[in-house]
Amino acid sequence: MVFYRTYRPKLISQLDKTDVRERIGSLLQSKSVPHAFLFSGPRGTGKTSTARIVAKALNCEHVDKKVTTRVATTIEPCNKCSNCLAIINGTHMDVIEIDAASNRGIDEIRELRDKIALSPSMGKKKIYIIDEVHMLTREAFNALLKTLEEPPVHVTFILATTEPHKLPGTIISRCVQITFSKATDQELKRSLNRVIAGEKVEISDKALSLIVKSADGSFRDAVKILEQAVSENRLSDADISLLIGLTGNIDLIEIVLHRDIKRALSSIEEQYQNGTDFSLYIQSLLEGLHEQLLENPENTEVKKLIKYLMRAYSETKTTSIPQLPLELAVIEYCSN
């Protein structure tokens, strides 16, 4: 993920989500900046990148005012002062990032509460970025709530989550919530074009559109696909189609629906040998089946196959053998 780290937005004006860019710009320019933000939305939509930009804007020694949105003049970090550079490098003592999936207990939140009263040591503000905040225990949420109710003036919280419905209403009510919806095709292209320009990549509009379609609204996934294509020098339209698993999708669906296990497994093995990303491949299979379902909602077999493939898609994220979940799904469907 070198490209994603290198070309992730560093300014508010570079944020690719239009609505997020405008809201963040307005909030940071307001007379009373919120003491707690809640960033919610699917993975790969820019929550962490935005949190770090906010941290820089609140601590920058040379904030620069520029017109960057249609609704407000916003404050941009300079990305050159000692505070900005420390945040970019992940070494700023006052910007603390906590992964709630690994630090979800009350002891960790109590430790946080004990330290927030201390004044910032480097910057103007102490920023606590708590990722996957929905993973905290009930006791930890209760402890965090007390801190959110009466935070010191030098502290700003940025909570991030992919599952906001799991957060207590009392926590949500203490935050200014910003929703990161899946990126539009135009927003994904804006993000990819930043990488393309930086790396001087030559790629057709068609190939770019194929990448965008496969990314399913995720900036991270879109850049990941492009990086793989560049690293393997597979940038033609045909190469991109093969890389994201579009080649042979309809054939495999038809083979499986006819319950030809041997041919289906052979087709999957061919995809594996071609270096297909099976998460993207199964996603494209599901898109094809979805189209068939919309054309014929009463097609029971398509409904069954969709359920098998949805499970396989979920399992690809944890398996050490990338093609195995799809193989098992095909075998179970064809044998049933």
Q: How many CB atoms lie within 10 A of CB 298?
A: 7
Task: Give the tokens for residue 306.
Answer: 């969709």
Q: Is the pTM of this model over 0.85?
A: no
Report how far apart the first and last C-alpha atoms of the chain are (Å, whole number). Answer: 40
Task: Please tell me the predicted confidence (pLDDT) of residue 46.
Answer: 94
**Do 229 and 275 touch, CB atoms closer than 8 A?**
no
Largest Cα separation within the chain, whole Å, is 68
What does each of the 336 residues of the chain score in pLDDT, given as a tens digit? 689 999 999 999 999 999 999 999 999 988 889 999 999 999 899 999 999 999 999 999 987 665 444 544 568 999 999 999 999 999 999 999 998 888 777 787 888 888 888 999 999 999 999 999 999 999 999 989 988 988 899 999 999 999 999 999 999 999 999 999 999 999 999 999 999 999 999 999 999 998 998 888 899 989 999 998 999 898 998 888 877 766 555 578 888 988 999 999 998 988 888 777 888 788 878 888 888 888 888 888 999 999 999 999 999 888 889 999 999 999 999 988
Amino acid 204: pLDDT? 93
Beta-carbon contacts of residue 69 (< 8 Å; ≥ 6 apart): 21, 22, 25, 26
Judge contact between 291 and 239, C-beta under 8 A: no
Residue ranges of domains in the chain, CATH in brackets: 2-179 (3.40.50.300), 184-244 (1.10.8.60), 245-336 (1.20.272.10)
What residue type is 77 in one-letter code? P
CB atoms within 10 A of CB 59: 26
* Separation of alpha carbons 214 and 206, rounded Å: 13
What's the rounded Cα separation, in Å, for the pair 130 and 153? 18
Q: Which two tokens stand for residue 175?
A: 């935050």
Q: Nearest Cα to 227, choosing from 243, 242, 251?
A: 243
Residue 257 neighbours by CB under 8 Å, 6+ apart: 301, 302, 305
Classify the C-alpha dihedral 288-294-299-305 as positive or negative.
positive
Burial of 7 (0-12, 13-18, 19+ CB in 10 A): buried
| Nearest-angstrom CA–CA distance, 44 and 31 | 31
Encode the chain in three state secondary structure.
CHHHHHHCCCCHHHCCCHHHHHHHHHHHHCCCCCCEEEEECCCCCCHHHHHHHHHHHHHCCCCEEEECCCCCEEEECCCCCHHHHHHHHCCCCCEEEEECCCCCCHHHHHHHHHHHCCCCCCCCCEEEEEECHHHCCHHHHHHHHHHHHCCCCCEEEEEEECCHHHCCHHHHHCCEEEECCCCCHHHHHHHHHHHHHHHCCCCCHHHHHHHHHHHCCCHHHHHHHHHHHHHCCCCCHHHHHHHCCCCCHHHHHHHHHCCCHHHHHHHHHHHHHCCCCHHHHHHHHHHHHHHHHHHCCCCHHHHHHHHHHHHHHHHCCCCCCCCHHHHHHHHHHHHC
Residue 74: the pLDDT is: 61
Sorted by sequence, the CB contacts under 8 Å of residue 297 that are 6+ apart come out as: none
CA angle at 48 for the pair 198 and 106, rounded to the nearest 5°: 160
Instruction: Please compute, for residue 165, the number of CA atoms within 13 A of its CA located in the half-sphere on the CB side.
Output: 1
